[in-house]
Amino acid sequence: MDVITAIEKRREITSFHSLNLLSETLKQLERAFYLSPSGNNLPSRECIVVTDRVMLNQLSVTTPYMKWLEQAAAGFVIVANSELSKYWLQDATIAGSYLWLTATSLQLGAAWGAVYHSENYEESAQREQFVREQLNVPESLRVVAILGIGYPAIDPPPKEMYPIEQIMHHEYYQSREE
């Protein structure tokens, strides 16, 4: 599947079949994460791949919105080093996007569980600390997100998008009120 097709097909999948991922598939997903760009090519983002069913169930309560992790075949926990790069959040997010698109290209489904919450320090700290305790993540790393990946139990219809002209500008910002 080419990249644009993966982008068009990508959906948040929150219902998975109970099938394990092949080790070769996991390696492809890991490679996509590894090959993602980062500011100054620094290893500011890291990933913990979780396939243990008990741990996935424990992580599913990180936020009230991650119950789908109980069905996922794997959880990719994205952490970032804010001391290594000022671009840690961008690097981690881009890596997650590469991972998600690769999953889609492999006919897998994925869901994004935000752990880091930029607008609520207390909530973010609580979520991050929970994941740290479960996975032995050092205090020096920020826990950004958990991507649940597995074989989709549903095939959602194409996303209904707003007109591209609503967000695309050429040469300068063009007010829609003109």
pLDDT in tens, 21-47: 999 999 999 999 999 999 999 999 999
Gap between the Cα atoms of 73 and 53, Å rounded = 8
Total number of domains constituting the chain: 1
Element (H, E) at 134: helix 121-135
Gap between the Cα atoms of 32 and 42, Å rounded = 16
Considering the domain boundaries, does residue 70 fall inside one? yes
pLDDT value at 134 more than 90: yes
pLDDT in tens, 93-128: 999 999 999 999 999 999 999 999 988 999 999 999
For residue 178, the model assigns a pLDDT of: 53
Residue 153's domain spans which residues?
3-166
Considering the domain boundaries, does residue 175 fall inside one? no
Task: Indicate the pairing of strand 74-80 with strand 45-50.
Answer: antiparallel
Considering the domain boundaries, does residue 178 fall inside one? no
